[in-house]
């Protein structure tokens, strides 16, 4: 996130991220967005407790609709599914248009976010994988700029994570292989319509490609 200026954290829950960043960077202020009353109140309480009411403003509302275009330079949206994050970005084009950077942490389906970036003129400038308590978290930073078409593997695993062969990439690919195996197992017990058979063939092909990708990692 920027170290000065103003950013918005959407779906902030207890506002932990904006509180941390604003305390760390004296030139930074934030807007917190929450759609649910309970977390919105929790964010207000936390901001008050840290005596940050003059630097963090809490707003109740859906996604980026709480912002006027140009009100913040950057937005973070963390801890939601990739499809939800993508929908939040798509619902407010006028706000997105004025942003300089976006930090996203999709819990699932990160490819939805990366494909949105590729289709909408955003460049992936940083990607990180973090492991905590056996779970993997993906963080993606986007900046306005020439977007690049992505292969299916790049959309799923991240072009930068693949290029840099991130130390946790092996764990991430194994996770995807297990997910594939679980879906295949379920489909084996479904009525074998043409669609189901087609999906099974796709997943079997994906398993082969994921295994090859694993072997290619140093």
Ligand X SMILES: C[S@@+](CC[C@H](N)C(=O)[O-])C[C@H]1O[C@@H](n2cnc3c(N)ncnc32)[C@H](O)[C@@H]1O
How many whole angstroms separate alpha carbon 39 and alpha carbon 108? 21
- The CB-of-84 to ligand X minimum distance in angstroms stands at 6
Q: CB-wise, 57 or 84, nearer to ligand X? A: 84
> Does residue 5 belong to the site contacting ligand X (CB under 6 A)?
no
> Does residue 18 belong to the site contacting ligand X (CB under 6 A)?
no
Q: Which helix (H) or strand (E) holds 103?
A: strand 101-106
Contact partners, residue 145, CB within 8 Å, separation at least 6: 121, 122, 123
> Does residue 35 belong to the site contacting ligand X (CB under 6 A)?
yes
Q: How, if at all, do strands 135-144 and 122-132 pair? A: antiparallel
- Considering only residues 152 to 181 of the shown chain, the ones binding ligand X according to CB under 6 A are none
- The CB-of-218 to ligand X minimum distance in angstroms stands at 32
How many whole angstroms separate alpha carbon 167 and alpha carbon 203? 25
Left, alpha or beta for 47 (phi > 0: left; psi -120 to 50: alpha)?
A: alpha
Task: Extract long-range pairs of 124-129: CB within 8 Å, 24+ residues apart.
Answer: 124/158, 124/159, 124/160, 125/101, 126/160, 127/158, 127/159, 127/160, 127/161, 127/166, 128/166, 129/161, 129/166, 129/168, 129/169, 129/171, 129/172
> Does residue 60 belong to the site contacting ligand X (CB under 6 A)?
no
- The CB-of-12 to ligand X minimum distance in angstroms stands at 5
Contact string 65-104 vs ligand X (x = CB under 6 A)? -------------xxx---x---x----------------
> Does residue 138 belong to the site contacting ligand X (CB under 6 A)?
no
- The CB-of-135 to ligand X minimum distance in angstroms stands at 12
Q: CB-wise, 34 or 138, nearer to ligand X? A: 34
Q: Residue 181 phi/psi, 5° resolution?
A: -60, -40
- The CB-of-124 to ligand X minimum distance in angstroms stands at 19
- The CB-of-13 to ligand X minimum distance in angstroms stands at 4
Q: CB-wise, 36 or 171, nearer to ligand X? A: 36
Binding site for ligand X (CB under 6 A): 10-13, 33-36, 39, 62-63, 78-80, 84, 88
């Amino acid at each position: 996130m920027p170290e000065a200026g103003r950013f918005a954290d959407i779906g902030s829950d207890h506002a932990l991220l904006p509180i941390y960043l604003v305390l760390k960077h004296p030139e930074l202020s934030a807007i917190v967005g929450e759609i649910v009353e309970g977390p919105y109140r929790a964010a207000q309480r936390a901001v008050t407790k840290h005596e940050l009411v003059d630097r963090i403003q809490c707003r109740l509302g859906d996604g980026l609709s709480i912002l006027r275009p140009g009100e913040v330079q950057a937005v973070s949206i963390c801890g939601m599914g990739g499809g939800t994050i993508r929908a939040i970005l798509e619902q407010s084009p006028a706000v997105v248009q004025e942003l300089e950077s976006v930090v996203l942490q999709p819990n699932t389906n990160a490819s939805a976010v990366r494909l949105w970036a590729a289709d909408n003129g955003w460049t992936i400038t940083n990607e990180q994988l973090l492991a905590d308590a056996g779970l993997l978290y993906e963080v993606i930073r986007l900046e306005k700029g020439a977007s690049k078409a992505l292969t299916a593997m790049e959309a799923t695993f991240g072009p930068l994570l693949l290029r840099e062969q991130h130390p946790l990439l092996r764990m991430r690919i194994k996770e995807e292989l297990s997910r594939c195996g679980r879906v295949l197992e379920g489909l084996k017990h479904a009525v074998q319509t043409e669609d189901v058979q087609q999906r099974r063939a796709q997943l079997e092909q994906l398993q082969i490609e994921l295994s090859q990708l694993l072997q290619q990692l140093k």
